[in-house]
Amino acid sequence: MDVQATDQAQGVPPGAGGDAVDEGTRRRRWRLLLGEAGTPDAAGVPLTDAQRAMDEALAALYDDGARGSGGGERGAGLGGSAPRVARWLGDIRTYFPSTVVEVMQRDAVDRLGLRRLLLEPELLAAVQPDVGLVSTLLQLHRTMPETTRSTARHVVAQVVAEIERRIATSTRSAVTGALRGDRTHRPRPRDIDWDATIRANLAHWLPEHRTVVPHRLVGRSRAQSMVARDVVLAVDQSGSMAESVVYSAVFGAVLASMRSLRTSLVVFDTSVVDLTDQLADPVDVLFSTQLGGGTDINRAVAYCQSLVARPTDTMFVLISDLYEGGVRDELLRRVAQMVASGVQVLVLLALSDSGAPSYDRDNAAALAALGVPAFACTPDVFPDLLAVALARGDVAGWVERYEEGRALVR
């Protein structure tokens, strides 16, 4: 449980800690963290009504009758009752901040087997939407009753809209900046970069007139209105890549909305599905995926290779944990062919907020030997990577700096 959430419920100011916390507050905090069974003197630690309600919500999820009893049934739980689960979902949203609610919801699905109950529209409507919930719904949507599908679609649409608000502006800005025209000293009036022009002409400052006389104009030639680059996204839809599928669908939709790019989206497991014609609606894309199953990366790369019409103007992004169920040697040969032809190849082990993923290290090392670094990337920094790649910058150097920064944060 979030200690800060506990503090707030007890009236402790945010950030307070150490000597600022009296003994009574400290004991109540430990009582809430450990539960009644884990606190030897629980009876001697008084809780307020609000704290007891928090304790009951936590006990329903985390208390287990097996602890310290040599086995037995769950001492407290949510059972199989959808109304009871719905009340519990409402309670935790009352007592805890949204970040804690998301964790508790994921734990409830994993610990208490609530996947079946998520097929009930009343319960689904009570859940706080997040990427983890969307991933679960996408795995279940083919078994959903008709009455639940519209609710599930609404939940997924909420999360997609939030992700798009989060990443759309930075993505469009990064792509536009990377593809804008080359710097020129004979720009048209509307293409003059006045800040750069003033800086370049500071030596020509006339104090008596309090102005700069520009001897040299600086600007950029007008960006091309035609398609400048082709982008092919190939996304592994095996179960472990669920969060990456969600983010990839939204990024694909954003990129597809830009006239300077021709964007294709391909999802794969042991088969390959081209979803490019659905990119206008990322929710449609997500409900067209089928999470789980095996993986044939080689087959997916072969299909994507057939989409490449302008190798030197194409960027191919493979999003996969690289656990290959197909022909590994063929996969590496195809990637080498693409690189040799001029295609810019990027491999993301994950496009998610979840941190370092599990991945096939041998395949990652083999790709690195071909000059294709493989690394995990968060959605917030993906636009920066796009900008470097589309501008034909030093992607390997960017990856090295990014990994160093992540290591320092850890």
Find out whether 44 and 71 touch, Cβ atoms under 8 Å: no
- For residue 308, what is the DSSP state? -
Higher pLDDT, 212 or 111: 212
Q: Point out the least confidently predicted range of 42-51, 176-185, 363-372, 395-404.
A: 176-185
More confidently predicted of 319 and 145: 319
**pLDDT number for residue 180:** 67
- The pLDDT of residue 193 is above 80: no
Section 262-280 average pLDDT: 95
- For domain 229-409, give the CATH superfamily: von Willebrand factor, type A domain (3.40.50.410)
Q: Which residue has the higher pLDDT, 73 or 92?
A: 92
Q: What are the backbone angles phi and psi of residue 120, rounded to the nearest 5°?
A: -100, 125
For position 61, what pLDDT does the model report? 81
Q: What is the mean pLDDT of residues 66-88?
A: 50
**Domain parsing of the chain, residue ranges:** 3-111, 181-220, 229-409
**203 exposure class (CB count in 10 Å sphere: 0-12, 13-18, 19+):** exposed
Q: At how many degrees (to 10) do helices 49-62 and 82-95 cross?
A: 130
pLDDT one-digit tens code per residue, 154-183? 999 999 999 999 999 999 888 887 776 545
Identify the pLDDT of residue 349. Answer: 95
Query: pLDDT band for position 51 (50/70/90)?
Result: confident
How high is the pLDDT of residue 175? 86
pTM: 0.70
Task: Give the model confidence (pLDDT) of 240-249 as tens digits.
Answer: 888 999 999 9
Confidence of residue 220 (pLDDT cuts 50, 70, 90): low
Report whether pLDDT(187) > 80.
no
The DSSP code for 201 is T
pLDDT band at 18 (very low <50, low <70, confident <90, very high): very low
Give the per-residue pLDDT at 42. 66
Of the pLDDT bands very low, low, confident and very high (cuts 50, 70, 90), residue 68 is: very low
Residue 91: both structure tokens together = 């309670």
